Amino acid sequence: MKIKLPFSLALKEPLAVLEKTKKLTLVNLANNAAKSFLISELQKNTQVENLFWASTEEKAELQRAVAESFFEGEIIEIPAQITPSKWYEIQQALATRTPSLFLFEDFEVTTTAAHYPYVGQLLEQSQTIKVGEKIKIFQFFEYLESIGYSSATEQILVPGEFIRIGDHLFVFPAGAQKCVRIELFGDEIEEIVEYNQTEKKAQGKVLPTLTIRPNKFPDNCATSFFTALDLNQQKSLVLSDDLDEELHPNIDGYTIKFTSFPKEDETFFHLNFFSVLPFYTIPDFVVDMKERLRRGFNIVIATKRAEEIKNIFADSTTMWTEDLNDKTPSTIKILPIDKEDFLPHSFQNNDQKILFLTDREIFSFHRSSRQKKAISGMNMELMNSLKGGDFVIHTDHGVAEFEGIIRRDLGKDFGGTREYLKLKYAQNDKLFVPVESAEKVTKFIGEDCPRLTKLGAADWQKSQEKIKKETEKIAKELLKLYAAREMAKGKAFAKDDDMMADFCASFPYELTPGQANAWADVKRDLERPQPMDRLVCGDVGFGKTEIAMRAAFKTFTAGMQAIILAPITILAEQHYQSFMKRIAGKEYGVNIALLSRFQSAAEQKKILRGLELGSIDIVIGTHRLLSKDIKLKNLGIIIVDEEQRFGVKQKEKLKNIRAGVDTLTLTATPIPRTLNMSLNKLKDISTITTPPPGRLPVVTEVRKFNFNLVRERILFELERGGQVYFLHNEVRSIEAILFQLQALIPEAKFIVAHGQLKPEELEARISRFKSGEANVLIASTIIENGIDLSNANTLIVNKSEKFGLSQLYQLRGRVGRSRTQAYAYFLYHGRRLELEAKKRLRAIVEASELGSGFQIAMRDLEIRGAGEILGASQSGAMKSVGVAHFVRMLNKTIKEMQSGETSTEMKPETNVTVDIPLSAYIPANYIPNINEKIRTYQELAGAETLEQLKHLKADLREDFGHIPKEVENLCKVIQLKILLRAVNIEAVKLNKVSHKAYELVLRMNEQFTPDQLFGLLKNSDKKWVIGATAIKLKMETLPINWYETLCDDVKLLQKVDLKK
Secondary structure of 233-286 in the HEC alphabet?
Answer: CCCEEEEEECCCHHHCCCCCCEEEEEECCCCCCCCEEEEEEEECCCCCCHHHHH
Whether residue 266 is contained in a domain is answered as yes
For residue 714, pLDDT beyond 90: yes
For residue 678, pLDDT beyond 50: no
Torsion of CA 580, 583, 587, 591, to 10 degrees: -40
The DSSP annotation for 586-648 comes to: ------EEEE-TTS-HHHHHHHHHHHHHT---EEEESGGGGSTT---SSEEEEEEESGGGS-H
For residue 872, pLDDT beyond 60: no
CB 701 within 8 A of CB 27: yes
Question: Are 202 and 331 in the same domain?
Answer: no
Q: Which residues of 136-161 are buried (b: 16+ CB within 10 A; e: fewer)?
A: eeeebeeebeebbbeebeeeebebbb
Taking Cα atoms as reference points, which of 937, 961, 943 lies closest to residue 405? 937
The overall pTM is greater than 0.85: no
In this predicted model, which residue has the larger pLDDT, 275 or 280? 275
For residue 1044, pLDDT beyond 50: yes
Identify the CATH number of the domain in which residue 160 sits: 3.30.2060.10
Contacts of 922 (CB under 8 A, 6+ apart): 419, 435, 933, 936, 937, 966, 967, 970
Question: Are 148 and 253 in the same domain?
Answer: no
Contacts of 370 (CB under 8 A, 6+ apart): 948, 951, 952, 955
In this predicted model, which residue has the larger pLDDT, 255 or 819? 255
What's the domain range around 598? 498-688
- Of 362, 378, 404, the residue at which a domain comes to its end is 362
Identify the CATH number of the domain in which residue 810 sits: 3.40.50.300
Question: Are 296 and 238 in the same domain?
Answer: no
In this predicted model, which residue has the larger pLDDT, 986 or 904? 986
Whether residue 305 is contained in a domain is answered as yes
Question: Are 111 and 178 in the same domain?
Answer: no
Q: What's the mean pLDDT in 608-622?
A: 91
**Average pLDDT, rounded, for the chain:** 80
Q: What's the mean pLDDT in 962-973?
A: 89
Whether residue 643 is contained in a domain is answered as yes
Distance CA 337, CA 139 (A): 58
Question: Are 205 and 248 in the same domain?
Answer: no
Whether residue 439 is contained in a domain is answered as no
Question: Which of 122-131, 228-237, 337-346, 890-899 bottoms out in mean pLDDT, i.e. has the lowest?
Answer: 890-899
Question: Are 622 and 713 in the same domain?
Answer: no
**In a 3-state reduction of DSSP, which class is residue 365?**
helix
| 384 band by pLDDT with thresholds 50, 70 and 90 | very low
Question: Are 24 and 139 in the same domain?
Answer: no
Whether residue 110 is contained in a domain is answered as yes
Ramachandran region of residue 377, left (φ > 0), alpha (ψ -120 to 50) or beta?
Answer: left
* Pairing label, strands 391-394, 188-196: unpaired
pLDDT one-digit tens code per residue, 23-77: 889 988 878 889 999 998 888 888 888 899 988 766 676 788 888 888 888 899 8
Whether residue 965 is contained in a domain is answered as no
Q: What's the mean pLDDT in 517-525?
A: 92
Total tally of structural domains belonging to the chain: 6
Question: Are 344 and 230 in the same domain?
Answer: no
- Of 787, 818, 848, the residue at which a domain comes to its end is 848
Q: What's the mean pLDDT in 604-622?
A: 91
Whether residue 664 is contained in a domain is answered as yes
Question: Are 772 and 640 in the same domain?
Answer: no
Question: Are 559 and 609 in the same domain?
Answer: yes
Question: Are 150 and 206 in the same domain?
Answer: yes
* Pairing label, strands 430-434, 354-358: unpaired
For residue 162, pLDDT beyond 90: yes
| 876 band by pLDDT with thresholds 50, 70 and 90 | low
Identify the CATH number of the domain in which residue 54 sits: 3.40.50
Distance CA 961, CA 122 (A): 44
Helices (H), 800-874: 805-812, 835-846, 853-864
H-helix or E-strand containing 709? helix 707-719
- Of 166, 192, 212, the residue at which a domain comes to its end is 212
Question: Are 252 and 189 in the same domain?
Answer: no
Q: What's the mean pLDDT in 418-437?
A: 86
For residue 639, report the phi and psi dihedrals to the nearest 5 degrees.
-110, 120
Whether residue 880 is contained in a domain is answered as no
| 145 band by pLDDT with thresholds 50, 70 and 90 | very high
